[in-house]
Structure 1
Amino acid sequence: MQNQITSLQNTKIKSLIQLKEKSRIRKKEGCFIIEGKREIKLALKGNYTIKQLYYCPSIVSDVEISSIIDNHDNQIDLYEITMEIYQKLAYRTTTEGIIAVAKSKDLEIKNLVLSSKKPLILIAEAPEKPGNIGALLRTADAAQLDAVLIANPKTDIYNPNIIRSSVGCLFTNTIATGTSKDIINFLKKQKINIYGAALQTSVNYHTQDYTKPTAIVVGTEATGLSEDFLQSTTQNIKIPMSGVIDSMNVSVAAGILIFEAKRQRNFID
């Protein structure tokens, strides 16, 4: 079904603005906003249900819209919107003219099923900055990790800035969330080794064997890992540094650790 909306006072547009700006509304409605052609395509590929699509015909053509939504079973309601409305809804400086409303998934750790017998998992504990979370998801996608687990999340995973900074990798990764204790219990039940990026009783990261079932845990730059994880790790690991400071950006550190694990695994495969 296709409709036209020309007023900013339209109730659907007001609801979209709320969905864009407020985490509690996203949680209440069980929906979130996706902006951009690539991101929407990746969401559909990741089996997310698109409920509504809003597009500005002066920016994006009907042919482009059809190429995005064709061959998908679920019914998507289409709405033409004006440039004024689009600019109110968009959060990017670049313009693509298309915004979708998608149904959220239940990402609780209890629902996670791992397909690999030797999974390689990234865990981020208490991440807060959307940019860091997005960068972690991009790294996880590049490494084709088996899962990304967010422990004690401080930010709504469907925050538009996470989707933007991850360039859609929110939809290309297997993601689960939970408390640190819940995630630790999950890992122990699955007999997955836990390597914590921490200075306490640590060894250099490249000395460890990551070819077995492995989870690499990173904390925030400010507080590091919680006691729950520090007491549960198989081994704490560190990246040797030659500068004045003793920490680096969490997404950079995660990338170094993950690709050492990938290097080891590619070497034996």
Structure 2
Amino acid sequence: MFKQITSPQNSFIKELVQLKEKSRLRKKTNTFLIEGLREISLAIKGGYEITTILADASIIYQEDFETLHRLLSSEVEIIEISNEVYKKIALRDSTEGVLAIAKSKDLSLESIQFKHKNPLILIAEAPEKPGNIGAILRTVDAAGIDAVFIANPKTDIYNPNIIRSSVGCVFTTTIATGTTSEIIYFLKSKEIKMYGAALTAAVEYQTIDFKEPSAIIVGTEATGLSDEWLNNTTQNIIIPMRGTIDSMNVSVSAAIIIFEAIRQRNV
């Protein structure tokens, strides 16, 4: 028999609503909410520790619950919640009636372990929109590159909108955060070449040899890369534009350059 919570006014449920909405609380408690069977399964696959499962029995299929239950350790608390409570916590209706509380991971540069001796990294400077960050994480996952670094992050990586827009890739991708200065120092110490997507002093991205340890750096559409990056890159690169505008969505730009690097490495 699982513990049950039926009232949205329950103090624990109110805390979870705050956890969903407040980055400050997520950082203070080192916990965050995950919504949906796929996302929870990917978090488990990515080595995240799940502490609590909340399930709405009126939505979740018994077979799905049993499959999820088999993935969990015996110490995970399972709470059955009413549909009213579920709607209070959930961000969207199409998440199969299940949520989880998970512990955050160490996202420091010191925690990074590369899969390959000649790593390929994507660095996004100061991305703000959760949708863009999620799209970048999906691109990184699709390409199977070593890591993504977020420089000067404006948005908490465990923001539920990032989790949703990344369709759970946030859990299966190697991620680190830091200041631009910290990341530049890290890359130089590892002898990783830095290629910044920029309009000035740039060569076409296809002319670069990405077979060596490389970092591809992208900025925001509004401001591009900071001077600190532009003054430290090995070479600035540009995607030639055939139309009337001079910029693309950051996740699209990142994808074009990343897959060129992957093409070169697979030749």
SS at match of 1:116: coil
**Unmatched 5+ residue regions in structure 2?**
none
> Which residue of structure 1 lines up, in the alignment, with residue 147 of structure 2?
147
Q: Which residue number corresponds to residue 19 of structure 2?
A: 19
Q: Give the distance between the partners of 1:190 and 1:84, measured in 2 at CA.
A: 52
Change in 2 beyond 3 A, CA 1:105/1:95: closer
Equivalent-residue separation in structure 2 for 1:208 and 1:38 (angstroms): 37
Distance 1:190 1:117 in 2: 10
**Structure 1 contact 3–79 (Cα < 8 Å) conserved:** yes
Root-mean-square deviation over aligned CA pairs: 1.2
Q: Which residue of 1 aligns with 2:247?
A: 247
Does residue 134 in structure 1 map to residue 137 in structure 2?
no
How far did residue 112 of structure 1 move?
1.3
After TM superposition, which residue ranges in structure 1, 4 or more long, deviate above 6 angstroms?
none
Corresponding residue of 1:81: 81
Write the deviation string for residues 150-170 of structure 1: whole angstroms up to 9, x where unpaired.
Answer: 000000000000000000000
What's 1:222 paired with?
Answer: 222
1:66-123 deviations in Å (ceiling 9; x for gaps): 3113244361100111111111111124241000000001101122122311101000
What are the superposed Cα offsets for residues 27-63 of structure 1, whole Å, 9 maximum, x if unpaired?
1111000000010000001000001100100111343
One-letter amino acid of the structure 2 residue matched with residue 60 of structure 1? I
> Partners of 2:75 and 2:147 in 1: how far apart?
30
Where does residue 197 of structure 1 map in the other structure?
197
Q: Is the 8 A contact 1:49 1:74 kept in 2?
A: no
| 1:123 maps to amino acid | I
2:97 is equivalent to residue 106 of structure 1: no
Corresponding residue of 1:97:
97
Partner of 2:169: helix, strand, or coil? coil
Partner residue in 2 for 1:34: 34
Equivalent-residue separation in structure 2 for 1:187 and 1:214 (angstroms)? 9
SS in 2 for 1:149: strand
**% identity of equivalent residues:** 61
- Residue segments in structure 1 that go unaligned for 5+ positions in a row: none
- Asked whether the 8 Å contact 2:37–2:95 carries over to 1, the reply is no
1:55 aligns with 2:55: yes
1:243 Cα shift? 1.4
TM-score by length of 1: 0.97
Counterparts of 1:242 and 1:165 in 2: how far apart (Å)? 29
1:90 alignment partner AA: A
Name the amino acid aligned to 2:88: K
- 1:4 paired to 2:4: yes
- Per-residue CA distance 1:182-222 (angstroms, 9 max, x = gap): 01111111111100000110000001100111110000111
- Residue 55 of structure 2 contacts residue 99 of structure 2 at CA under 8 Å; is this kept in 1? yes
Structure 1 residues 157, 74: closer, same or farther in 2, change over 3 A?
A: farther
- Report how many aligned residue pairs link the two structures: 267
* CA distance in 1: counterparts of 2:225 and 2:18, whole angstroms: 34
